[in-house]
Structure 1
Amino acid sequence: MSGRSSGIEAAPSPVETGTVDLPARVAPVELVEVGPRDGLQNENRPLPVGTRVELIGRLLDLGVRRLEAVSFVRPDRVPQMVGAEEVMAALPQRDDVTYVGLVLNRRGAVRAVETACDEINVVVPVTDAFAERNQGAPVAALLDEAAGAVEVARGAGRSVSVTLAVAFGCPFSGPVAPERVADVAEAALALGIDELALADTIGVGVPAQVRGLTALVQGDERLRRLRFHFHNTRNTGYANAAAAADLALDVPIALDASIGGFGGCPFAPAATGNIATEDLFYLLRESGVPTTGPADLDLGAAAEVSTWLSEQLDSPVTAQLGRAGDARVRA
C-alpha cells in the first residue's frame, strides 16, 4: 500500500504522542543502501547491467544518497557483479550522491578508481578461516592488500572505508574473541581510513555485542566514522540496528541496509538477507532517531521498488513493511 494515496489519514507516531522515550542519541544516523551490491550478489539470477542501473536510479528517486553500487571482484567468483565498470559508466554523476565500490584487494581498488566511484570500501575478515574461504589468503595478507588499496584510493583522491567481516561470528571457526576484532580494527585504523565498519556477515550478533565491539574502538582518535552492517539471519538484525542507533559516540554513525531485505554472502553458508531499508527506516523514525540519506522515506514507494526488484530477481521480498504497511497511515 503506497503512502501517497489520497484520502488517507496519517496516524501519529508513538514519539509524537509521547508514549515512548526518545533515544539518548540525537545526531542523525546515516543510512547506506547496499542493495545494488550485497542485495544482488547472493541471488541465483544475475541482473543485466541495464537493470542494475535502473535499480540505482529508483533508489536515488527514493532519496538514497550513499550506496554501494558495485563490487570489483572476480567474475568467476561472483557473477552477479559482472560489468561493474559498465554500471558505473551509466550512472548519473551527482554532487549529492556518493557511489561506493567494494573491493577485496589492491587490484580491485585500481579498477575502482578508474571509474566514477566516490568511495572505496575494502573488506577484511577478522578470522583466517573466513579470509581463506572468501578471499584466498589469511588476515595478515589481506591487511597488506588493504594498505595497498588505501594507497590507491588516496592517490586518486577518493575516500576509503574498511569493513571488518565476520566481526560478530564466523561460519567456519565459530565465535570471535573481541580481542581478535580489536587487533584487526587496530591495523585497519592505522591505515588512516575515513570510516570503519563492523559487519555481522552471517547474522549471529546480538545487541550486547554491538555495544561491546563498539567499546573496542570508542575514543580512538583515529576513528572518524563508525558504520554497522547487519544481517537478519536469526531475527536479531533490527535489534542490533536499534542498539547501534542508541550509541552515544563523538563520531558519526551509519547503518547499512538493503531495499527489500535482499542479500547475503555467497561464501557464508545460510547467511540470509540484510536488514531491509524500509523496515529499518520505520524503526528509526518511530523511535525518534533522525536519519540522513534519506532524511525521509516514502515507505509506500520503497515497497514498490522492493516488489519490482523481487520480480526482476524472481526472489521473494523479506521486508515486512510492504505487507503490513506504514502504521502512520490508515484508511
Structure 2
Amino acid sequence: MSDHVRIYEVGPRDGLQNEDMLIPAERKVALIDLLSQAGFEKIEATSFVSPKWVPQLADAEAVLAGITRKPGTDYAALTPNMKGYERALAAGVDEVAVFASASEGFSRKNINCSIAESLVRFAPLLDAAKSDGVPVRGYVSCVIACPYDGPVASEAVRDVAQALFDMGCYEVSLGDTIGAGTPESVATMLETVLPRLPAERLAGHFHDTRDNALDNVMAALALGLRVFDSAVGGLGGCPYAPGAKGNLATGPLVALLEQSGFSTGIDREALAKAEQYLRSITASA
C-alpha cells in the first residue's frame, strides 16, 4: 500500500449544508479558493439538491461559476437525481456523488425511499455519467449505527457498498454518520466489506461525536484504506442524525497522518489560512 493518503475535503458541501447559517456565495467561493491553494486533490464544492430541502446550498451554480479552478484539483458535487446531475454537468463539475444508506430507517428519513428504491433511482444517473465520462463517487451512510434503527449489520454495509461499486462508482465512502464507531467496530465492518471491495476503492468518513474519529482513521489505515473525508474546521453534523457532531476536522487529520509517516500533499500553512477565513465568515454570519 502507498504511503500517500488522499484527503477528500467535504467542508464546502457536507459541512456547510448542515450549519444553520446561510453563507453568501462569494464567501463560499473564497473559502474553496483558499482550500484549493492548500493542495487538496478533491474538494466537494456544493450540492445540486432542491433549495427547499437544503437552502444553504441553493447557490450551487454561482459557487462553481465563481471559483478559481486549480490544476490538479477536482471539484465535486452531490447529485441525488437526474435533475441534479444535469445541473451539475452544466455547471462544469469534475465529478459527482450519490448517496445511499446501510440503514432502512435512515434511507427513508433522508431520501424518502427504501435502500433498494434508492439504488434503482441512481441507475439512470450512473448510466448517464458513464456516457458523459463523469466519475461518480458513492456514499454509504450509517455504516456503524443508525439514529432510528440502532446498530447496523456489517453485511448490510457490504451489500450497499458493492451495489454502488457494481453500478459504476469509482470509489465508495463509508460514513459513520452519527459518530458511533470505535476502532473495534470500524475494523469489524471493514473486515466484512474488504473481501468484496478492494481497500483502494474505499474511503473512510468519520464523525467525531464521541471523539473517536482519529482512532477510527488509524483502524482503517491498518486495514489498507488510504482515502479519508474531512471538513475544514470540523464543519457539519447531519440534519437527519440528531446529536451528530461535526465531521472529522481536516487540520487534526493532516497532523495525525503526517506524524504517522504518511504524506498528504497538504500545505498546512495554506490550510490554516482557510481555517482562519472560515472562522471569520461563520462568526459574522
TM-score, normalised on structure 1?
Answer: 0.81
1:236 to 209, 212, 217: 212
Shift of 1:146: 1.9
AA aligned opposite 2:144: F
User: Which residue pairs with 2:185 in the alignment?
Assistant: 209
Q: Is the 8 A contact 1:35 1:263 kept in 2?
A: yes
Q: In structure 2, how many angstroms separate the alpha carbons of the residues matched to 1:32 and 1:282?
A: 15
Matches within 5 A, 1:250-329: 253-291=226-264, 295-298=265-268, 300-314=269-283
Q: Which runs of 5+ in 1 are unaligned?
A: 1-24, 317-331
User: Which residue pairs with 1:56 in the alignment?
Assistant: 32
Q: In structure 2, how many angstroms separate the alpha carbons of the residues matched to 1:212 and 1:272?
A: 23
Moved more, 209-218 or 275-284: 209-218
Match status 1:93 vs 2:46: no
TM-score, normalised on structure 2?
Answer: 0.93
Match status 1:183 vs 2:152: no
Q: In structure 2, how many angstroms separate the alpha carbons of the residues matched to 1:60 and 1:165?
A: 27
Provide the aligned length of Structure 1 versus Structure 2: 285
Would the alpha carbon gap of residues 221 and 264 (structure 1) be closer, same or farther in structure 2, given more than 3 Å must change? closer
Shift of 1:54: 0.4
SS of residue in 1 equivalent to 2:18? coil
Matches within 5 A, 1:107-256: 107-220=83-196, 225-248=201-224, 253-256=226-229
Match status 1:80 vs 2:56: yes
Shift of 1:280: 0.4
Greater Cα radius of gyration, structure 1 or 2? 1
Q: Could you give the per-residue CA deviations for residues 245-265 of structure 1, whole angstroms, max 9, x where no partner exists?
A: 22236xxx2100111111111
Q: In structure 1, how many angstroms separate the alpha carbons of the residues matched to 2:200 and 2:2?
A: 18
Q: In structure 2, how many angstroms separate the alpha carbons of the residues matched to 1:301 and 1:68?
A: 18
AA aligned opposite 2:252: D
Query: Identity across aligned pairs (percent)?
Result: 38
Q: In structure 1, how many angstroms separate the alpha carbons of the residues matched to 2:209 and 2:284?
A: 16
Shift of 1:167: 1.2
- Relative contact order (C-alpha < 8 Å, sep 6+): which is higher? 1
Shift of 1:303: 3.1
Q: In structure 1, how many angstroms separate the alpha carbons of the residues matched to 2:214 and 2:284?
A: 22
SS of residue in 1 equivalent to 2:14? coil
Q: In structure 2, how many angstroms separate the alpha carbons of the residues matched to 1:81 and 1:170?
A: 25
Q: Which runs of 5+ in 2 are unaligned?
A: none
Q: Is the 8 A contact 1:33 1:258 kept in 2?
A: yes
Shift of 1:155: 2.1
